[in-house]
Structure 1
Amino acid sequence: MLDFVRNNRRLMLLLLLVIIFPSFVFFGVESYSRFMDSSHDAAKVDGRTISVQELDNAVRDQSERMREALGASYDARMFEGPEARKQVLDQLVLQRVVSDEVARENLTVSNARLVETISSIPAIAQLPKKADGSIDDKAYLQLLAAQGMTPDQFDARMRFELATQQLSGAVSGTAFMPKSLLERLLAIRDQQRDVQALLLKPSDYTAKVKVDDAALKTYYEAHQGDYSVPEHAKVQYLALSADALAAAQQVSPDELNSYYQSNLARFRTDEQRRASHILIAAAKDAPAAQRQAAKEKAEKLLAELRKHPDTFADVARKESQDPGSAAKGGDLGFVGRGTMVKPFEDAMYALAKDGDISDVVETDYGYHIVKLTGIKPAETKPLDVVKPELEAELRKQLAAKKYAEMADAFGNMVYEQSDSLKPAADKFHLTVQSADNVTRQPNPALGASNPLNNDKLLKALFNDDAIKNKRNTEAVQVGPNTLVSARIVDYQAASVRKFDDVQAKVREDYIAQQAAELARKDGEARLAELRKSGSAEGFGALATVSRTKAEGLSPKALEAVMRVDTSKLPAFAGVDLGPQGYAVYRVAKVSQPAKPDPAQLQAAAQQIAQVAGQAELGAYYEALKARSKVKVLHSAGTQEQGAGN
């Protein structure tokens, strides 16, 4: 069990995130309310449909978001095929099921909790603030608009996410791990075994393999897939991209200056001041006598500081009751307006120059003495400094406008003159590009960003009509502001290479297979003998391994070593390593390290309880699905499933 927990903990955490949050990361709450014609249904949950179009959109959204997140390491094949579509459909089904349960349980979120959560999101917390410390409304609206959302939609999404967290937390938080079981699991995890290896290599058996033409032909017939040439094509393609257009855009000095003037606020830094303070704490609801005593102490300290202002830092370290700044001599660093409470801020900005000390300032926290230690005046970056940034932005805006004007014409031309991409290339001043060995499936060799790895473009390119007549595909949107049309120049259907052409490779593969088989048979015979004799002859040096320390053993070998019965030593285990041969492992000694200290025990308990909670949560979700009469329809490309049908 602990092997599973240890080896799959990160996977389990990933699966939990996929289970709990898919609606917010990929699709949005609004997807729950979309309904389509029943003839295009992918699934039903309690009679409510999930359309094939909704599934297609979800797959596309996931793929695009993963493309943005992973960049060059993105592989479009992650979202290809029935299995990938089924996983996304499972997520959509789970969204519906969880949504229904949240509504059934009447789970709600207070406005205060919602505001607190939204304000803690880094992208929102970094937005400009108003004088009262609240988030600037205009900046907030712009941020949401960039994500295609209104404040109401975002509030609804966050409310649903928080309500779902209540549901999942109530289930996963009940997981419990008894101390006796935990100690047993840790003992299994940490157990050490001294092991020796004896490897029987296939290369030692190649000379014993008998080869004849009949055997080679039989092997070839049984493994024709290893000698096949996949379907492939030589392809030309033409891309209309706003990014490419941006490089060609010219920005005039007048346009640049006008854009700079309209964005001055972005490049302006308000005045900031650095201050130190001494706080004599007194809560606002403290008795009057206590506050008066605090005030009198502050006034006494101020009188001394007026005489000896250079002792401010020492007095702050000794007398200040602000735990965050006292140790630093009262230093608060540079702050702008809206950061401090108003009486403190007013006093700080009333000071004229470095070294000035305020009168005693009363706030809800008590009584402060403020010393000004620095001023950063307001400044605005000049146009020359921000010119490259603004030029790039303007080029991008002009390119986006030009792209919008050209997109329809581009699509029409590649369709109307479908026997060549050259007319469109000439008209729009684009370059026809080419690629060899393009297949129906994305090819990592072309690069993750290559449009020929786009699943929609590949489907259009390998359409029967496009293959037969070598026509241009429609203009396919392969990314934001990017259209691509492609055509097959030369097509080769999938084929199996003739035996005579691959006879040498067949011979090599056959000998390797037979040698590995001889090594396996010999290894199994040696294993049987060793279990009787217990001999250590022929084995390598001792290595101490555990479930957390493989010492070079493959996962398969380590599992065999740790599973072997050690009630009688030496114990032996055999492992078929396939093309690498056959290995026999001799376990000579078993030892148990010292028990973990209480801190390690507690940390391990938390990890295992977390995984146990995730398992309970998964079982809970399956129970919800069973109760919700989930039916996956044949039109989704999968078989019917679900309970309660």
Structure 2
Amino acid sequence: MLQTIRDKSSGFLAFTILGLVIITMAFFGVDSYFSPKIETYSAKIEGPAKFWIWGKQVREIPQDRFQRRFEQARQAARDRQGEGFDSARFESIDSKREVLDRMIDEEVMAMVAERDGIAIGEGEVAAELKRMEEFQVNGQYSADQYRLGLAARGLSHGQFMATVAADMASRTVPGQVASTGLATDDELEEALTLAREQRDLELIDLPTPAAPEAPTEEALKAWYDSHGERYTRPEHVAIEYVEIDGATLDVPTVVDEQTLRQRYQDQRGRYVTEPVRSAAHILVSVSADADEAEVEAARERAQALADQARQPGADFAALAAEHSDDIGSKADGGLLGPIEAGLFEGPFQDALFGLEEVGQVADPARTPEGWHVIQLADLTPGSERTFEEVREEIEAEFLATERDRIYSDLGNQLIERVYRDPTALAPAAEATGLELKRSAVFSRDAGDGIAAMPEVREAAFADPQRVERQVSDAIEIGPNHLVVLHVVEVEPAALIPFEEVRERVRADLVADALSKASEAQAEALLERALAGESFADLASEVGRTVAELPGVTRQSQLPPLLIEEAFRLSAPDEDAASAGIVRLGADRHALVRVTEVREGELGELDQATREALRQQLVQARATVEAEAYIRALRRQYTVTVAEDRL
């Protein structure tokens, strides 16, 4: 048997197969045959291969990143809609796909920028950072604010610069496409006419139908079984954590005098300022190869100018403008601005710093450029705060610095111990003398105590912590305040028992029945209105009156869905009514009818207003064109969405 296998495994074909197996293992490793990969992405984007099956661009959108973005979208919708926010409706798969699609577009643009080699220079990135409002104080870029912002994000300067550069690169081409948007005069006229169009409406606010009969137990259970996603308790976790709060650390309260005096000497530049001198000069240039006679002649000319400048009432600026050979300063009357010691060494500095009164002129000073006639244009006296004057300030700063040092040392010790064993937090807590605490279970969206902080929940539900059970990195939750956590318990998402949510099920079922009944009532009345029955008769039948809404425009302060439906309907004619249904609430509908349409009047619009509206139209068209460009690019990539993980 073995000899047969040996005989069959020789030859060119066998060696070819063996070579392919070796190559495969070299690229993917033996482990890939025995360790199945667990997919955790919400979406995966794959580009075309550069060579056969190699060189593909592949990016994934992890579940935790999608969940964070979806939660941000939820909060934005809640803030925007207020009491009208419907959490259950927002949880629909359509809402989730809308958020995920935006993330996919962003990834595709980043992949295109990477593929096409679009790079952003450091200067452009730095300019972009200085334009970001979160790094500004009173409208101006603040380096301190920038450092605080990076600390809150947990990023280094290099990491953040790379992130901003990648984002700018991904927006480069869509931005260029958008910049090509334009609008002709005819298009502007048409858009303005539509925007200022007026419509007269009639509205019947329909009553909510009577409550249905109390649902049976069978109906409740059937609803519960078919709407399990509404009654699923989300995944919960519990954590062990240690917390370092700089405000509660034990620090020295007394500092010896010698330490304070030494700190004063080390930082003396903060408390002692040297006088600031501003200079003006007249240059009498001397060429590098000038002989002694030429040098002396230049000196005599400079001396004459100095003597002239010292005369009562002399105008040094006028002399500089007329006689100075320094092209850069003569137009400003020879002004050089503030000059610190060391900026000009040798005779120039000696001459300037030998002057003691504003307006005083020194004898000519020689430099390689020639002879300088120097005037002390301004003198700001220096100042000095003695040790006794700043002692309390130095002591307070020293104690604050000590608090920062102790906080930093303790944090470093904790992280170092965690790195030694990232699978358990208790040893690190014991080694550093910190209390190991435990939280109650909490969800991705809400928690109590330490879990009330979004940063903590985000870290706890990240895959390395929730799935792999690793100890987290330090999480900055405030100035000199950090948390390190370890997930110790995971409760999977589970259907809440029927008995616990019976009343919720009853309320949801009744609300759904009312909604359907209201919609059915509206559809039946609309059918009759379209068949020719008057709005007045229909309103009377349901105990309502017809509300007249004249001169409605797209900008009118009415419910958005009403405006949308009113301007979706066609203009009325003699053969057919122009009517539709508007949903005003979960169980409230209205009938709306267009009775007259009037074109917008444009005569009173001045040129400035027209131009501003043209720019709005250009921007709208640019946005549409950029979106079309992104959709075209998406067709070049393969997108896989894990619907079951949304």
Shift of residue 158 of structure 1?
8.9
Structure 2 unaligned blocks of 5 or more: 1-26, 50-54, 80-90, 136-142, 281-305, 316-331, 363-373, 477-481
Residue 560 of structure 1 deviates from its aligned partner by 0.6
Aligned to 1:483: 484
1:100 aligned to 115, 118, 123, which one? Answer: 115
Q: 1:554 to 1:599 in 2, by over 3 A?
A: same
Structure 1 residue 395 and structure 2 residue 397: aligned?
no
Return the alpha-carbon distance in structure 2 between the equivalents of residues 266 and 337 of structure 1. 18
Instruction: State the SS of the aligned residue for 1:576.
Output: strand
Q: Distance in 1 between matches of 2:630 and 2:238?
A: 48
2:156 and 2:456 mapped to 1: Cα distance? Answer: 28
Q: 2:600 aligns with which of 565, 586, 592?
A: 592
Is 2:553 the partner of 1:557? no
> Aligned ranges for residues 459-498 of structure 1 at < 5 Å?
474-477=470-473, 479-480=475-476, 482-488=483-489, 493-498=494-499
Q: CA deviation at 1:50?
A: 4.8
Q: 1:222: which partner in 2? A: 223
- 1:573 is aligned to 580
Residue matched to 1:430: 435
**Following superposition of structure 1 onto structure 2, how do residues 465-544 of structure 1 map, counting pairs within 5 Å?**
474-477=470-473, 479-480=475-476, 482-488=483-489, 493-498=494-499, 501-502=502-503, 505=507, 508-509=510-511, 512-513=514-515, 515-517=517-519, 519-521=521-523, 523-525=525-527, 527-528=529-530, 538-540=545-547, 542=549, 544=551
2:205 to 199, 202, 220: 199
SS at the partner of 2:440? strand
Separation of aligned partners in 1, 2:384 and 2:395: 20
1:612 to 2:621 alignment: yes
The residue that corresponds to 1:454 in the other structure is: 458
Which structure has the larger Rg? 2
Instruction: Determine the C-alpha separation between the residues in 2 that align with 1:161 and 1:147.
Output: 16
CA distance in 2, matches of 1:161, 1:349: 52
Distance 2:264 2:512 in 1: 75
Whether the 8 Å contact between 1:250 and 1:395 is mirrored in structure 2 is yes
Q: CA deviation at 1:561?
A: 1.0
Cα gap change, 1:494 to 1:61, in 2 (>3 Å)? closer
Corresponding residue to 2:47 among 45, 48, 58? 45
Mark the CA change 1:407 to 1:187 in structure 2 (over 3 Å): closer, same or farther: same
Q: 1:405 to 1:444 in 2, by over 3 A?
A: closer
> Matched residues, percent identical?
14
Counterparts in 2 of 1:179-328, with a 5 A limit?
A: 179-202=185-208, 205-206=209-210, 209=211, 211=213, 213-214=215-216, 217-218=218-219, 220-224=221-225, 225=227, 229-231=231-233, 237-241=239-243, 243-244=244-245, 247-251=248-252, 253=255, 257=260, 264=267, 267=270, 306=313
Question: Mapping of 1:352-371 within 5 angstroms?
Answer: none
Contact 1:276/1:373 (CA < 8 Å) preserved in 2?
A: no
The equivalent residue for 2:16 is none
- After TM superposition, give the deviation of residue 557 of structure 1 in Å: 1.2
TM-score normalised by structure 1 residue count: 0.55
Change (3 A) 1:572 1:169: closer
Letter in 1 for 2:605: P
Contact 1:228-1:497 within 8 A present in 2 as well? no
Query: 1:452/1:638 Cα in 2 relative to 1: closer, same or farther (>3 Å)?
Result: same
Report 1:60-71 matches (<5 A): none
* 8 Å contact from structure 1 (residues 236, 432) kept in 2: no
Aligned to 1:545: 552
Three-state SS of the structure 2 residue aligned to 1:573 is strand
- Please give the residue correspondences for 1:56-135 in structure 2 after superposition, counting only pairs within 5 Å: 59=65, 88=103, 90-102=105-117, 118=126, 122=130
| TM-aligned CA deviation for residue 504 of structure 1 | 5.8
How far off is 1:181 after superposition?
0.5
Asked if the contact 2:199–2:552 (Cα under 8 Å) also holds between the matched residues in 1, the reply is yes
SS in 2 for 1:542: strand
Alpha carbons 2:204, 2:546 under 8 Å: kept: yes
Name the CA distance, whole Å, in 2 between partners of 1:357 and 1:568: 93
Give the secondary structure class of the aligned counterpart of 2:213: coil
Alpha-carbon distance, 1:199 to partner: 0.4
State which of 168, 175, 178 in structure 1 corresponds to 2:181: 175
Letter in 1 for 2:581: G
1:197, distance to aligned residue in structure 2 (A): 2.7
Q: Deviations over 1:2-25 (max 9, x none)?
A: xxxxxxxxxxxxxxxxxxxxxxxx
1:196–1:542 CA contact under 8 A, matched in 2: yes
Deviation at 1:498, TM superposition (A): 3.4
Match of 1:442 among 436, 442, 445: 445
- SS of the equivalent of 2:547 reads coil
Give the whole-Å Cα distance in 2 for the aligned partners of 1:509 and 1:61.
Answer: 29
Residue correspondences, number? 492
What one-letter code is carried by the residue in structure 2 that aligns with 1:617?
Answer: A
Alignment match, 1:7: none
Given that 1:351 and 1:372 are in contact with CA atoms closer than 8 Å, whether structure 2 keeps it comes out as: no
Question: Corresponding residue for 1:317?
Answer: none
Counterpart amino acid of residue 398 in structure 1: I
Structure 1 unaligned spans of 5+: 1-35, 128-135, 278-298, 309-325, 360-367, 467-472, 640-645
Q: Give the aligned partner of residue 5 of structure 1.
A: none
Residue 523 of structure 1, CA deviation: 4.0
CA contact (8 A) 1:575 1:582 kept: yes
User: Which whole-Å deviations, capped at 9, do the CAs of 1:430-468 have from their partners, x for residues lacking one?
Assistant: 2635335x23x32277776256522544767876xx9xx
- Output the CA distance in 2 between the equivalents of 1:479 and 1:264: 33
Partner deviation per Cα, 1:488-517 (whole Å, 9 max, x = no partner):
499994224239943864674366346524
Q: Is the 2:228–2:495 Cα contact (8 Å) retained in structure 1?
A: no
Kept after mapping to 2: 8 A contact 1:196/1:586? yes
Report the alpha carbon displacement of residue 261 of structure 1 after superposing the two structures with TM.
Answer: 5.7
Q: 1:168 to 1:161 in 2, by over 3 A?
A: same
Counterpart amino acid of 1:238?
E
- Deviation string, structure 1 residues 268-303 (Cα, Å, up to 9, x no partner): 6966979999xxxxxxxxxxxxxxxxxxxxx9xx99
The verdict on how the C-alpha distance between 1:520 and 1:490 changes in structure 2, with shifts beyond 3 A counting, is same
Cα distance, 1:528 vs structure 2:
3.4
Report the TM-score when normalising by structure 2.
0.55
2:319 maps to: none
Shift of 1:223: 4.7
* Number of the residue aligned with 1:406: 414
Higher helix content, 1 or 2: 1
* Structural RMSD (CA): 6.4
Cα–Cα, structure 1 residues 487 and 167, in superposed 2: closer, same or farther, change >3 Å? Answer: closer
Give the match for residue 311 of structure 1.
Answer: none
Distance in structure 1 (CA, Å) of the matches to 2:431 and 2:166: 52
| Pairwise CA distance, 1:100 | 3.2
Partner Cα distance (1:149, 1:442) in 2: 30
